[in-house]
Amino acid sequence: MEVNPEFDDGILKIVRTFEPEGLRVEGELDAARHSVFAEQLRRLRSGRNVHLDLSRLGFIDLGGLHLLAKHATRLPADAALVLDHLSPDVESVIDMVGWHRLPGLARGRRLAETGGNA
């Protein structure tokens, strides 16, 4: 059983997750969808770790990555935005621009650690 998506326009789908708490982001995150993605990030509870399951994300532009970094830096010191199931391409872009060193942004589980898509 799956909860109804918070957003779904056929290109980007955002689904609330509860174990762990956060969002599953599917499809493509481009400039036309930045505002809805930013709004969904704002709705998440702050003060604790929030997980983003990116296993079904096929594309994210630099603006979308910037939204992740911006959200992470606004979290309380004891909380993190945890990026689960990053694709190797997205992970290398994060490394290349140095965002992996930002406070509040953390790499989470890899697909191999969970036995496939979760």
The residues spanned by each domain of the chain are: 1-80
Q: Specify the pLDDT at position 98.
A: 87
Distance separating alpha carbons of residues 7 and 85, to the nearest angstrom: 20
Residue 110's pLDDT is 87
pTM of the complete model:
0.87
48-103 pLDDT, tens digit per residue, is: 899 999 999 999 999 999 999 999 999 998 899 999 999 888 888 888 888 878 88
- Neighbour-count burial for 90-115, b at 16+ CB within 10 Å, e otherwise: beebbeeeebeebebbbebbeeeeee
The H or E element containing residue 37 is: helix 34-43
Cis omega (within 30 of 0) for bond into 76: no
Which tokens sit at 92?
């290398």
Asked if residue 61 lies in contact with residue 29, where contact means CB atoms within 8 angstroms, the answer is: yes
Q: Which CATH number fits domain 1-80: 3.40.50.150, 3.30.750.24, 3.90.220.20, 3.90.930.60?
A: 3.30.750.24
